[in-house]
Amino acid sequence: MKRRNFVKKLSLAALPFTLGGIPLRLMAENSLTRMAGQSTNDRVLIILQLHGGNDGLNSIIPVEAYDLYYQWRANIAIPAKNSLRKMIALDSTLPADAQVGLHPDMIAMKDLYDRGRMTVVQGVSYKNNNGSHFRGRDISFMGGGFDDYFSSGWVGRYLQQEFEPKIYPNDFPNPEMKDPLAIEMGSDVSLIFHQDGNIPTSISLNNPESFARLVDELEGFTDEGVDPRGKPPIALDNSPYGKELNWILGLEEKSEDYAQRLYDVYRNAPLSSVTYPERYPFNAPRGSMRNGLTPQLQLIARLLDGGGPGLGVKTKVFLVKMGGFDTHAEQVESYDPTMGQHAALMYHISSAMKAFQDDLKARGLEDRVLTVTTSEFGRRVRANGSYGTDHGTGAPVMIFGKGVQPGVVGKVPDLNLQNVEMQYDYRQVYANLLRDWMLVDEAKINNDIFFKDFINGPKEDGSGNYEPMPLATQVISGVQENFIGNRFSLGDCYPNPASAFTNIEFKINNTNLVDISLKNSKGQLIKSLLHEERTEGTHIIKADVSDLPAGIYFYQMKTGFFNESKKLIVIR
């Protein structure tokens, strides 16, 4: 469907639904239609909504411009040094104008980055961002510009294109596709999944078992020869009223299939072998302690698993949510800017995402899933007098998964401005993920999903073309290995063979505790060669081996997640 033919209609109804104690929005998909079984790949996209407008500058902290950052944010600035809780330097190999740090409670996110499972896109927004929660969220969900008013969302249009020509309800569900195409956590019916002229639907209860039981007991599912649901005369079937009622009753009938299917998948999937974070371990305002992201991600992992290969749901897109980001006041504690509401939120995101990635890996699902954050806007450069931040414009987007092109895209924002300026249109991020991760044809992205070339085409303001922006990869193997090798390494020692001493060279990407030990051929510890904190960069230590008998040994380096061993021969 071309933009000029877009019919702007509002969705008409929605019903609540939860699974495993988690509120969900189960999309019957209407003309989202197609069957995921027909998709050309089994890849999944998770959208993590940071509701309220995340403060990107206290999440992804500028390094080279730190003095200016501190000048404008003295009452909430994260310390760069001389503090037990200080900014975590992200990547010393980045260009100076891209150097950033992380909030001290995002240590798990640092681990994901170092493993090549994360990328950051700076300055994501849209032209004429007005800082409105509701309008901003609608714009980012519909996939339009500041002056567009679409009744459908970009994910809904993507799903429609992905599974064309099958349409709901005639072809859905069926033996090839028993699952909803999209599942949304929470009690809202978000515009992101809407399609032109169709209604997203969901059903509410506490867990999969009670969901299945409740739906099974609905009156409309008892066939006694007479429809108890008030069907109109057959002559009205083709009227607007008849079509609408048939559509709603069709969804009711299909809910039984969804209920039993999701319950079976949930029941058959094993519990996670990974420990997810439940609470913030430090001091935080009441209501900020519990990690609300954990149960959502646990549920998704379990539904995708289903008890074995091919047994999990084929749902293509999930929407998960975290609130609490509208931090006008008391974003930090007055006595410590590293503590407070925003700190707890940063911990919840990073720790839950780390556990989720570990869970996916343990279940053999890591190759299939990519997660991207979204927030309606960022916060202003300058803090206010209430230890908080006010509505801004641009903000960083974070992407997680084995399929990312790891790194930082874009530069540190210009902090001389009132707001973080836009470096990338948010649709450019989504367009690249659709092309490179969900493997959508570029023509469909430009003509039917975003109605503009946000991958290589001209910018709306006429200032040139959009830059190439690889965020995900079709070939997963090797990407992370090269990324890690450029940042962490244990070199060959020299001389080798050695009789008196040998030099061991290593490289690290951040200040961290480094442990280098020497072991014999049986793996038994012979001696510790280094056990101290070292700064980022390349280091050389001189190891005395004059007291060792001739033989084969192994020197091993451990720092953070990095663990590598190499051979050393001692001669006499």
Tens of pLDDT, residue by residue over 430-453, are 999 999 999 999 999 999 999 999
343 and 409 together in one domain: yes
Write the DSSP symbol of residue 68: H
431 and 498 together in one domain: no
Residues near 473 by beta carbon (within 8 Å), at least 6 away in sequence? 403, 404, 405, 436, 479
Dist. CA 470–CA 214, nearest whole Å: 46
Q: What is the CATH number of the domain that holds 544?
A: 2.60.40.2550
Tell me which residue range forms the domain holding 525: 488-570
Dist. CA 168–CA 436, nearest whole Å: 27
pLDDT of 31 higher than 90: no
Write the DSSP symbol of residue 282: S
331 and 413 together in one domain: yes
Summarised one tens digit per residue, pLDDT across range 320-372 is 999 999 999 999 999 999 999 999 999 999 999 999 999 999 999 999 999 99
Write the DSSP symbol of residue 554: E
- The DSSP-derived string for 369-409 is EEEEEE-S--B-SS--TTSS--B-S-EEEEEESTTB--EEE
CA distances from 458 to 183, 453, 454, 461, 467 (A): 34, 7, 8, 8, 10
Residue 161's pLDDT is: 84
The stretch 12-28 carries a mean pLDDT of 47
pLDDT of 208 higher than 90: no
Q: Among residues 126, 155, 161, 127, which one has the least CA distance to residue 141?
A: 155
Name the E strands within 35-80.
44-50, 60-62
- The angle subtended at Cα 123 by Cα 487 and Cα 56, nearest 5°, is 80
Residue 524: helix, strand or coil by DSSP?
Answer: coil
Residue 39's pLDDT is: 57
Residue 6's pLDDT is: 35
Q: With bands split at pLDDT 50, 70 and 90, how would you rate the model's confidence at 468?
A: confident
Dist. CA 140–CA 293, nearest whole Å: 21
**Helices 154-162 and 426-436 sit at what angle, rounded to 10 degrees?**
20
Residue 246's pLDDT is: 65
236 located within any domain: no
- The DSSP-derived string for 466-508 is PPP---B-S--TTHHHHHHHTT-EEPPPBSSSBSSEEEEEEEE
Dist. CA 495–CA 568, nearest whole Å: 9
The stretch 239-243 carries a mean pLDDT of 66
Boundary of a domain, candidates 462, 481, 500? 481
Q: 7-11, 145-149, 274-278 — which is least confidently predicted?
A: 7-11
Q: With bands split at pLDDT 50, 70 and 90, how would you rate the model's confidence at 198?
A: low
Summarised one tens digit per residue, pLDDT across range 371-418 is 999 999 999 999 999 999 999 999 999 999 999 999 999 999 999 999
341 located within any domain: yes
477 and 558 together in one domain: no
145 and 291 together in one domain: yes
Residue 461's pLDDT is: 76
214 located within any domain: no
Instruction: Output the average pLDDT for the chain.
Output: 85
Q: 138-152, 183-197, 509-523 — which is least confidently predicted?
A: 183-197
Residue 118 near residue 112, CB atoms below 8 Å: yes
Residue 186's pLDDT is: 72
The stretch 535-560 carries a mean pLDDT of 96
Residue 207's pLDDT is: 46
pLDDT of 253 higher than 60: yes
Residue 224's pLDDT is: 47
520 and 542 together in one domain: yes
Dist. CA 139–CA 147, nearest whole Å: 9
Considering the chain, what percentage of its residues have pLDDT values greater than 90?
A: 65
Dist. CA 401–CA 119, nearest whole Å: 9
Write the DSSP symbol of residue 333: B
Its pTM stands at 0.87
Sign of CA dihedral 304, 305, 307, 308: positive
Dist. CA 464–CA 480, nearest whole Å: 32
33 and 128 together in one domain: yes
Boundary of a domain, candidates 481, 509, 542? 481
Residue 217's pLDDT is: 55
Q: Among residues 401, 365, 402, 363, which one has the least CA distance to residue 273?
A: 363
Summarised one tens digit per residue, pLDDT across range 137-176 is 999 999 999 999 998 999 989 988 887 776 655 676 767 7
Residues near 270 by beta carbon (within 8 Å), at least 6 away in sequence? 302, 305, 307
508 and 393 together in one domain: no
128 located within any domain: yes
Boundary of a domain, candidates 481, 516, 549? 481
- The DSSP-derived string for 193-208 is G--TT--------SSH
pLDDT of 193 higher than 90: no
**Beta-strand relationship, 317-322 and 44-50:** parallel
257 and 378 together in one domain: yes
310 located within any domain: yes
Residues near 211 by beta carbon (within 8 Å), at least 6 away in sequence? 17, 18, 19, 203, 205, 259, 262, 263
Which residue type occupies 476?
A: I
Residue 283: count other Cβ atoms within 10 Å of its Cβ. 14
pLDDT of 16 higher than 50: no
pLDDT of 566 higher than 50: yes
Residue 496: count other Cβ atoms within 10 Å of its Cβ. 16
**366 phi-psi bin (left φ>0, alpha ψ -120 to 50, beta other):** alpha
Residue 185's pLDDT is: 82
Dist. CA 352–CA 338, nearest whole Å: 19
395 and 471 together in one domain: yes
Q: Among residues 29, 401, 323, 343, which one has the least CA distance to residue 182?
A: 29
23 and 145 together in one domain: yes
Q: Among residues 123, 3, 59, which one has the least CA distance to residue 429?
A: 123
47 and 195 together in one domain: yes
pLDDT of 523 higher than 90: yes
Task: Return the residue matching tokens 């798990």.
Answer: 108
Residue 4's pLDDT is: 34
Summarised one tens digit per residue, pLDDT across range 80-129 is 998 889 999 999 999 999 999 999 999 999 999 999 999 999 999 999 99
Residue 459's pLDDT is: 83
Q: Please give the tally of structural domains in the chain.
A: 2
Residues near 279 by beta carbon (within 8 Å), at least 6 away in sequence? 289, 290, 291
83 located within any domain: yes
pLDDT of 319 higher than 50: yes
Considering the chain, what percentage of its residues have pLDDT values greater than 70?
A: 80
340 located within any domain: yes
Q: With bands split at pLDDT 50, 70 and 90, how would you rate the model's confidence at 53?
A: very high
Residue 195's pLDDT is: 77
**287 phi-psi bin (left φ>0, alpha ψ -120 to 50, beta other):** left
